[in-house]
Amino acid sequence: MESIILMNSKWGNDMFVPMYLFFGGLSGGLFVVAVAADQTWN
């Protein structure tokens, strides 16, 4: 937790916003693929 605060104060939020968008999109994409595969296999 402390390292996150240190990184946040060092670089600000600019570096974290694209990361959150990337991982959010990645997990969202995986969820969509899982649902599509589930629909196909069943």
pLDDT along the chain (42 residues), means of 10: 56 68 88 90 76
- The Cα-based distances of 29 to 18, 20, 26, 34 in angstroms read 16, 14, 5, 9
The pair of three-digit structure tokens given for residue 2, joined into one six-digit string: 């402390």
Residue 19 pLDDT: 77
Number of domains the chain contains: 1
- Domain housing 34: 2-41
At which residue do the structure tokens 């600000």 appear?
Answer: 12
